[in-house]
Amino acid sequence: MANGAHLLDASAARGASPLAEAMFARTHSIAEVIESLLAATRVSIDAALHRFNSRRSARALLDAHQRNVRIRMLTDRSKFGESAATQRLLSSCGFRVRVTQGRDGDDSKMHHKFAVLDGRVVITGSYNWTFASEERNHENVVLLREPKLIETYNHEFEALWAKSDEVDEPGEKSESDKSGG
């Protein structure tokens, strides 16, 4: 069992989870920690991820979707547009995917890296859900279980979701294409 999964199991065994845990890619497989948390999710996953190309995480999300977990993913418009791997991974996932940019329009980034699971835990930190973050970079995640902080992340996700654009299904025309614009 990976160190990260061991920490999660140890917390559950004590009967109470800490309000926050920090993990570093140098000593933990963060992908395993995320997979374990996604596997335990029963109701919803709302993820705002700057970059996404991890096949492992995509499989874990697809497994959750097949268990009828509601999934909404928001990613950076320019990173999504630049990454054929991301487009392929998310094109047939079956859950809702939207794109957006930063506060200053097209020349800025939606740079968040967080996911809210069942409204009970937030995964956040420097870690992009990518192969490079797992295998090459020094990265971190923090798991938050404090209700007021989780609510703050929920509000941020909902605000971004409301101003984002749905990713077209392959072969579908966007609204601007349909209207000739």
Q: Domains of the chain, with CATH numbers?
A: 17-168 (3.30.870.10)
Q: Is 118 a catalytic residue?
A: yes
Question: CA 5 → CA 17, 29, 52, 68, distances in Å?
Answer: 13, 9, 22, 24
Q: What is the mean pLDDT of residues 128-152?
A: 96
Inter-residue contact 72 to 161 (CB < 8 Å): yes
Q: Active-site residue 163, yes or no?
A: no
Global pTM value: 0.84
List the end-to-end C-alpha distance of the chain, in Å, as a whole number: 53
Per the residue annotation, which of 46, 113, 163, 165 is the catalytic one? 113
* Catalytic one of 28, 79, 118, 138: 118
Given the residues 9, 111, 148, 168, the one annotated as active site: 111
Residues 6+ apart with CB under 8 A from 164: 74, 98, 99, 100
Residue 2 has pLDDT above 90, yes or no: no
Question: 129 to each of 133, 137, 148, how far by Cα in Å?
Answer: 7, 12, 25
More confident residue, 106 or 125: 125
* Known active-site residue 113: yes
Report whether pLDDT(14) > 50.
Answer: no
**pLDDT of 181 strictly over 80:** no
Strand 96-100 with 113-117, pairing: unpaired
* Token duo for residue 102: 């930063």
